[in-house]
Amino acid sequence: MQTLLRTPLHARHVALGARLVPFAGWEMPVQYDGVIAEHRAVRADCGVFDVSHMGELEVEGPRAAELLQGLLSNDLERIGPGEAQYTLLTNERGGIVDDLIVYRLGTFRYLLIVNASNRAEDFAWLRERELTGSDVRDVSDDYALLAVQGPSSIERLELGQARAFTFAEERIDGVDCMVCRTGYTGEIGVELLCAAEDAEALWDAVLERGALPCGLAARDTLRLEACYPLHGHDITPETDAIAAGLGWACALDTAFTGAAELRRIKAEGPDRRLAPFVLEERGVPREGMAIEGGGRVTSGTHSPMLDRGIGLGYVAAEQAAPGSELSIDVRGRSRRARVVPKPIYKRARTA
């Protein structure tokens, strides 16, 4: 029997009556009072997620940038200290080992926040390729990470306005944290990185300010409405960034691992593409379901905002354009779906 890891907020989740489930080796809250209420709170107001299971890897030294530029798909030179970037760790075939956000802490220091399920593999990948003059450390256990997301999140935390993909060191109700303008919900918000021992104080402060505790189930429905891919499902070491629609995160003129293969795929055009879709009939698409024409659903759920089945799936390139009609085998019943533009759901911005 495998022992599950617990975040520094485990006792808080238990006290709130969360339903806890195993996820990537961690015992995590999947929901508190209900996934739909939690989802709507993030779309309408403010929710908080404990995402302390995610991995934090620090890369430091005069050759840190050189190491990372050779392994990560995006152009690292485009960010300076205080800025962050969505990027991919790629293999020689152009497949996706992980997707992550890299934060430039200083001229010679970077922090990578990676998927919990890939923490060990990413760390090993970087360590094996380490250069003299680049030091890679797994600092995940030192930190807790809270995602505070939703249209009122900035106001509730009394933070100033800042551009997306920037970060700053700030103090929130007495807790020092790195306030990152990033997220995985499609709403404005922040991700707060703090020392593990401060996690409960920060969590309590954020709840006191009116954020609703939200679990992994709502995190999944929110990211799917926003069309953010989930590693291990929509993107994997066997799927490439071009087919996944992540070419924008690949600086193909740099020499990162797999760049040559991705240039070839881009020039020839991928055979299949990851397409967002909405069901036009009742039913809920799920991962693994077949899409007529040789495709497959990689993520599916019921959208709380659209009250419809939604999903992402790989389909033949000619089926992938918005408006294209798909037929999905939902447990033996053929269900009609339509490819839509990204994102699947976006809240109308109030003027």
Partner 1 sequence: MAGNPTESYPDDLRYHREHDWARIEGDEATLGITWHAADALGELVHYEPPEEGSTIELGSSYGEVESVKAVSDVIAPLSGEVLEVNAKVVEAPETVNEDPYGEGWLVRVRLSDPSQVDGLMDAEAYRAHVAEQ
Q: How far is the CB of 206 from partner 1 (least distance, A)?
A: 20
Q: Closest CB to partner 1 among 211 and 241?
A: 211
**Phi/psi of residue 294, nearest 5 degrees:** 95, 5
Q: Closest CB to partner 1 among 34 and 322?
A: 34
Q: How far is the CB of 115 from partner 1 (least distance, A)?
A: 19
Q: Closest CB to partner 1 among 40 and 109?
A: 40
Q: How far is the CB of 330 from partner 1 (least distance, A)?
A: 9
Q: Closest CB to partner 1 among 222 and 315?
A: 222
The Cα 189–Cα 186 span in angstroms is 9
User: DSSP labels for 288-314?
Assistant: T-EETTTEEEEEEEEETTTTEEEEEEE
- How many secondary structure helices (H) and strands (E) does the chain include? 8, 19
Question: Looking at residue 332, what DSSP letter applies?
Answer: T
Q: How many residues does the chain have?
A: 351
Q: Closest CB to partner 1 among 169 and 281?
A: 281
The site for partner 1 (CB under 8 A) is made up of: 30-31, 33-37, 217, 221, 282-284, 286, 301-302, 304, 309, 331, 333
Q: Closest CB to partner 1 among 131 and 207?
A: 207
Q: How far is the CB of 31 from partner 1 (least distance, A)?
A: 7
Q: How far is the CB of 285 from partner 1 (least distance, A)?
A: 11
**How many Cβ atoms are within 10 Å of 226's Cβ, its own excluded?**
18
CA 86 to chain centre: 9
Q: How far is the CB of 273 from partner 1 (least distance, A)?
A: 26
User: DSSP labels for 162-217?
Assistant: --TTBEEEEEETTEEEEEE---SSSS-EEEEEEEGGGHHHHHHHHHHTTPEEE-HH
